[in-house]
Amino acid sequence: MAGKLHFSLVSPERELYAGEVDQVDAPGSEGDFGVLANHAPFMTALKEGRVRVYVGGKTTDFDVKGGFADVTPEGLTILAEHAQEVAS
């Protein structure tokens, strides 16, 4: 079984999500990307689009407008200029 990835999504107003997840897909400025546990470190700017969080067969979506994504050995942090959870 694959390990979990620690993920945090932060906007200027508040932290919208923090927890252990299976995968996160995000809209990078150079193209969309996905992050799993033990991903190689990188940092990228984000474009407007959707961040999709996968946990135990369920997904949670957030619309983001700009910001940065930072993948480190500790996990993935997204600092979004604006972020809002999408109603399911």
Q: Is the pLDDT of residue 62 over 50?
A: yes
- Per-residue exposure over 30-48, b if at least 16 CB sit within 10 Å of its own CB, e if not: eeebebeeebeeeebebbe
What predicted TM-score, i.e. pTM, was given to this entire model? Answer: 0.93
Domain of residue 34 covers 5-85
Quote the CA–CA distance of 41 and 54 in Å, as a whole number.
20
Residue 2 has pLDDT above 90, yes or no: no
Residue range 18-26: mean pLDDT, rounded: 98
Which pair of tokens denotes residue 39?
């991903």
The number of domains in the chain is 1
Task: Identify the CATH number of the domain in which residue 48 sits.
Answer: 2.60.15.10
